[in-house]
Every structure is written in structure tokens, then in C-alpha cells.
Structure 1
């Protein structure tokens, strides 16, 4: 049995966030982070992009936190605030740039919402998805927030986006004593549970389909942000 601090795809939280500290030492001022996420908000569709403006870090509230332990004053203060984690100026410029590079016929929509961080690697249960939605989350995923926490600790500006690659199942699990189910065959019962279930291949396929569009649109948005002053003079974006 493994008893190390493995966290994300076999890496510890310290390893996951280490590149952010390297960026700080290299003089980077702004980081742009992207991820794949499950949609909790019923108005979100697969392929939509969510501009993050806040997050739920349940693991962090429970003590699994990238800043836990002795603080290094070289990077930031002991108790950094996160109420301003997602840079408002950068978000404003993204919305402006998005309007310029899209048309009314564009199938992908740009939303703005709250990201819920979960440890994984399992996808969320129906009850967990409903809980996160009731707590105010619009999308859910297994990455990004630790890096954002460390970036803000280091004083870096943060712009973060989620690509909705699947819709989370919020409907309650069918009850075994439902009268309408009593005469159904085992295969039919299994099919009921399969409806809407997230699969890793589904997520990968959605990501592949959106990859080129995401790269082009992100490139155009970042170009627009730079052109119209989204970054301060002399600022370095990673």
C-alpha cells in the first residue's frame, strides 16, 4: 500500500505547484490556466468554456493544502487572501475579446462561474454533484486550484478557464423499490444507471474535438488582451 503524499496523477501537491514558484523566480507576472471540467450548471453544454471567477477548495478546507507547513516569506505572506484570486481586469478583457472573435452562430459559449476542486480520480457521484451545485459550483474538476492558490501566494495575476467536456449527472439514483422498475430486466436496470454516466474516453474525445478551437480562440484572446492593455506594461504572461 502506498503511503506517500501522491496527489495528482502520482505527483504530490508540492510537485504539482512547483512550476508556479519557478515562474515567480523567472519574473512571470501572470499565469493563464486551463482545464477540462464537468458541467454542473444546467445552462452549460459540452464544448462551452467557463471563465473562472471563484472556486470551492474542499480539500484545502480539510487541510490538504499546498501552503500547509512553514511559510517562505520570499514568495508570500503566511495568510494570503483569496477573495481576489481571479483577476477582474483580465476577465473583463476576455469577455471583450470573445465578442470580437465569435459570431451569433458560434456553438461554443463563454460563461463565467465557480469551479469546484475535488481530489479524484473517480468522477463524482450523483449526490456529490448535487451537493456541489447547491454549494454554488458551476463546473467541477480535479486540478488547477492548488496552482491558483500558490500563484496568488506568489503575487501572480491569475486567469483560468474550464472546457466543459461532460455534463455531470445530478438526477437521483433510481430507487430499488420503485414500482415501475419491478418488471424490468437486469439489462434495462443497468441501462438506467448508465444514462449520463461520465467516462474517461468521453472526456478525452470532447477535449480532442475542442482542442484546435480552444487553441485558436485562446491565442486570439491573449493577443487581444495584450493589444488592449490587459497586462500591465512590461508584464510577462505564462
Structure 2
């Protein structure tokens, strides 16, 4: 469980870097960091300088916290995230969410690039996460609970806030962005799933599968924050098209849909 002194020390370090007080947190997935480039008067803090932050090596991640104004709202954007598959503990993966809460952020938008399991979806689609399935066999809340951070047994019946999902759906409609809605399955990685595993994941009721997002969403819910989850479906999951998967394709497709993605997020910020 996260140490409150570490959280507060990190919060104070960040607050000393900028007079802006963020109200919305953004976690930007592989190939989606370009949204942070739209932030006005940005203060950029490399993760390596932030006390108690881990350092991500994931390809497609810039590894800096960017604070500034985006569409009239002050945001704190993680340009790059920490993944369980990199060998980080789930405490390290989710620590930035605790810091966001300490900064006064109540709404967090978590994004990712992932594979489509639902065969009616297509690469390049954006998907609003309605729910998730944790297939990793562990949980970021394991260990002693600190009641100051959240309850011992949090309710996960509404992790992905309905109001925020409705706002995103309205914005997508206004901008003529085709939008899918579905269940996201969390896979540890770093290897992609086998065709048999994808068949299992589809049978269990997931529409997409990826290697992030769920730990952050659980910890945000534990901290009583509202979560909006958005996936960029960069490829059909293993076995659907009978072709090999590679990370270059993920980054390429994510960059192609960035205009839609940026437009959607900025529209959501306007209405929150």
C-alpha cells in the first residue's frame, strides 16, 4: 500500500513547479502522448526528477508529467505510464494516481492502445470502456489498507463513470467520430496473447485486451475518483486475422487516429 508521506512529498514537489492547480488527470497510452503537445503554457517534469516515481522504458512513451491548460481546463497529463510487465510493482504502477488525488484531481481520463477481441470492431476504432475483467491474478490493493486512501473492500460495480461515458458519447456524436463501447480485459504481457487465449477472453465477455489501465482504474476508484477509460483499438487480437502482431503496428495505428482521439478528449474536457 502506498505511503502517505511519499504521496504528499511528491505532491508538494509538483506543486512547487507550477502555480497551476490541475482539476483533471490524463494518463496517455502508447502512441497517444501527442495530446500533451496541445497543452498551453506547459510545465514538463521528467519522471526521473519526480520523487518516488518509477521510470518507464516502454516504447512510445515520453515519460514526463505535463501540467497546463487544455481546452479551458488545467490538466496533469502523464505522457507515458508504468506497466506491470516492465517489472514494476503495482504500487509503482498506480502511485501517480494517488498523487493526482492528492493534487485535488477528482476526474481521471485513462487511455490505452490495445487489441480488438470483438470481431465486429476494426483497427483505428476508439472504444469507451464500460467495464473490465482482471485476468492478471493480482490486484493493486493487495496488502495492508490505509483507510485515509480508501476503504478496505471497494465496490467496483461502477469503475467507469456513467456520466463521463455519456459526455464522451455525446462529444463523439457531435464530432462524427465512430465510437465503440465495450469491456476491456487486462493481460499482464509483455507477450501478446495466443489465439486460444483470445478465444477464452472473447468467451469471458471482453471486447478488447491490453496490458494497462485496470490497475490505475482500480486505485482511482479506491480513492473515490471518477474514471473515463478510452481505448484506441490498434489491431485485431491474435488469431482473428491469421497474421503476426507487432508493436510498430500499434504505434502506427495510434498515430493515425490521433486527430480523432485529441478531438474527443478536448471535447470531453469542455463538458466536464
| TM-score, scaled to structure 1 | 0.76
Aligned ranges 1:193-232 → 2 under 5 Å: 195-223=242-270, 225-226=271-272
Aligned length: 190
Give the deviation of 1:124 after TM superposition: 0.6
Secondary structure in structure 1 of the residue aligned to 2:128: strand
1:7 and 2:91 aligned: no
Q: Is the 8 A contact 2:112 2:231 kept in 1?
A: yes
Give the deviation of 1:206 after TM superposition: 0.8
Secondary structure in structure 2 of the residue aligned to 1:205: helix
Give the deviation of 1:201 after TM superposition: 1.0
Give the deviation of 1:55 after TM superposition: 0.4
Residue 193 of structure 2: aligned partner: 124
Aligned counterpart for 1:87 among listed residues 154, 161, 167 = 161
Q: Is the 8 A contact 2:149 2:222 kept in 1?
A: yes
In the alignment, the residues of structure 2 paired with residue 215 and residue 21 of structure 1 have an alpha-carbon distance, to the nearest angstrom, of 25
1:33 and 2:80 aligned: no
Aligned ranges 1:90-101 → 2 under 5 Å: 90-101=164-175
Residue 233 of structure 1: aligned partner: none
1:143 and 2:212 aligned: yes
Residue 50 of structure 1: aligned partner: 127
Q: Is the 8 A contact 1:8 1:16 kept in 2?
A: no
Residue 22 of structure 2: aligned partner: none
In the alignment, the residues of structure 1 paired with residue 221 and residue 265 of structure 2 have an alpha-carbon distance, to the nearest angstrom, of 22
What are structure 2's unaligned runs of at least 5 residues?
Answer: 1-82
Residue 189 of structure 1: aligned partner: none
Runs of 4+ with deviation above 6 angstroms: none
Give the deviation of 1:145 after TM superposition: 0.2
What is the root-mean-square deviation of aligned Cα atoms in Å? 1.6
Q: Is the 8 A contact 1:39 1:164 kept in 2?
A: yes
| TM-score, scaled to structure 2 | 0.67
Q: Is the 8 A contact 2:124 2:233 kept in 1?
A: yes
1:133 and 2:202 aligned: yes
In the alignment, the residues of structure 1 paired with residue 86 and residue 178 of structure 2 have an alpha-carbon distance, to the nearest angstrom, of 30
Q: Is the 8 A contact 2:192 2:238 kept in 1?
A: no
Which is strand-richer, 1 or 2? 2
In the alignment, the residues of structure 1 paired with residue 181 and residue 84 of structure 2 have an alpha-carbon distance, to the nearest angstrom, of 28
